[in-house]
Amino acid sequence: NNSGRLFKLYVSGLAEGRPSVLRGDIVLCLWNKKEYRGRVTATEQLDVLLEFHPCFHRSFDERLDRVERVRFSFQRTNFRTAHAGIEKAVDRMGVGMLLP
């Protein structure tokens, strides 16, 4: 389902956490013998909302076209931010406040 600038994609197993898909993750879709790179903007119970380059939005017709393959790629930014926060907390509060 294409709602304006976002595509909604059903992902089998998403509710159980298999696969684990987070906001900000990269999605690679093979369509029309070309790979398109997009980004996960939100996750719902069974679906993810995806955003792609405007040329994909203009060309892809959800009523007629089908994506051949979808791959999710791990986005490291979320984990780097979390690790940086932990390091700052240790510096400011000490390791005893975070780890028993």
pLDDT tens, position by position, 60-93: 888 888 888 999 887 777 778 888 988 888 888 8
∠ CA 62-63-66, rounded to 5°: 55
Nearest of 38, 39, 43 to residue 20 by alpha carbon: 43
Can you give the pTM of this predicted structure?
Answer: 0.69
Q: How far apart are CA 66 and CA 78, in angstroms?
A: 30
pLDDT tens, position by position, 23-58: 889 999 999 899 999 999 999 999 999 999 888 888
* Residue 96 clears pLDDT 60, i.e. is over it: yes
